[in-house]
Structure 1
Amino acid sequence: MAAENFQDRIWERLEQGRQAKAAQGGYVGYGSPAFGQRSLNGELVEKPDEQQIIELIRRHHKSGKSLQQVADWLNQNGYTTKRGQQWQRISVKRVLDRLYGRLSRISGMEPQTEEPDKL
């Protein structure tokens, strides 16, 4: 019983530490960093080569290409995912979701930030 309580307190302290680090913008290590980022000394930093691919994805999608067309273009031009795989429609969608947030987008409009209702 005492060992169980001790273990619970350890997990609680670890979780509090992770939450504090995340609140300060630190990377807490849950899964691999998103495409375009890497972990350096516990902090997320941009990967310039992947950031360029993100910009290509954004521009091609904004020009009206479908997710599949963007994936096909990336594959035809030798670009690979973080793990060296070919691009799939869902991979492109995930990059765009992170870029614009999960809000639905209207072509040509920037994502809206949430603001309190103004009366």
Structure 2
Amino acid sequence: MAVYGLTRVSTLDQAEGTSLDEQERKIEAIATVAGLSVDHIFTDAGISGSVPLSERPAGGELVALLQSGDTVVCSKIDRLFRSAADALTTVKEWQESGIDLIVVAFGADPVTASGTSKLMMGILSMVAEFERDLIRERMDEGRAAKKAKGGHIGGTAPFGFRKLGEGRGAMLEPVEAEQRAIDRMVSLKAKGSSLRGIAETVKNEFGFVVSHVAVKNALSRRGEQNKC
């Protein structure tokens, strides 16, 4: 029967701060209240909560060690799980295997020990998932806004543009010759030409070797620009 703690932060900056230390102190404290002694605390630093527990470096070690009679302690439910469904499924599996989970935010009793604990875990798991969805939505909106302003959101520059700058400040600048080729693509598409046919025409007329996928993306991007 072993007692394991687990801490996690999503960025290396947080790992260098006090967040991990605070999580460890809370884990040790709640274990003492529960009359337990923590045998080892596993730490995943700079690991996103979207990564399944078993696929994280330290989380994978923890999962591999767990046996019937063991107890896992964490400070908050989102330190362990990536979604409400993931939390509820895993906790059920652990319960059936004789493994307890104590979450500092829920008190010193295992989350399956009472109806109240189970209810709180379900509610807070969904809250954690909702918060991650909001963060993801904000990131998507930020990328869309940057793209609309001519910013580059990663990867190689699409046909018709060249990348200027690096990192968050990277921008896309139109390449005149390639833009003329895209104009021709638009014209050919309007006449009913296939994507592969358009790619072949662009190669013959402009000398640019582009795939039918690149043609599709260029037409899509031009359509989005025309809507703005």
TM bucket normalised to smaller: 0.5 to 0.7
Q: Which residue of 2 aligns with 1:52?
A: 180
What corresponds to 2:164 in structure 1?
A: 40
Q: Which residue of 2 aligns with 1:97?
A: 220
Q: What CA RMSD, in Å, does the superposition of the two structures yield over aligned residues?
A: 3.7
Q: 1:62 and 1:23 mapped to 2: Cα distance?
A: 26
Aligned to 1:67: 195
**How far 1:91 moved relative to its partner?**
2.1
Give the deviation of 1:39 after TM superposition: 2.1
The secondary structure found in structure 2 opposite 1:77 is helix
Q: CA separation in 2, counterparts of 1:48 and 1:25?
A: 19
Give the 3 Å change call, closer, same or farther, for CA 112–25 of structure 1 in structure 2.
closer
Q: Structure 1 residues 8 and 36 mapped into 2: Cα distance closer, same or farther (>3 Å)?
A: same
Unaligned stretches of 5+ residues in structure 1: 81-85, 102-110, 114-119
Say if 1:61 and 1:27 are closer, same or farther in 2 by CA, change over 3 A.
same
Change (3 A) 1:50 1:9: farther
Q: Larger helix proportion, structure 1 or 2?
A: 2
Q: 1:7 aligns with which of 8, 12, 20?
A: 12
AA aligned opposite 1:70: I
Structure 2 unaligned regions, length at least 5: 1-8, 16-45, 47-138
Does the CA-based 8 Å contact 2:152-2:172 persist in structure 1?
Answer: no
Query: Structure 1 counterpart of 2:149, which letter?
Result: G
1:77 aligns with 2:205: yes
Q: For the structure 1 residues 26 and 89, does the alpha-carbon distance in structure 2 shift closer, same or farther, using more than 3 Å as the test?
A: closer
Bigger Cα Rg: 2
Counterpart amino acid of residue 97 in structure 1:
S
Scaled by the length of structure 2, what TM-score is found? 0.32
In 1, Cα distance between the equivalents of 2:180 and 2:164?
19
Aligned length: 94
Return the TM-score normalized by structure 1. Answer: 0.55
Name the CA distance, whole Å, in 1 between partners of 2:150 and 2:207: 29
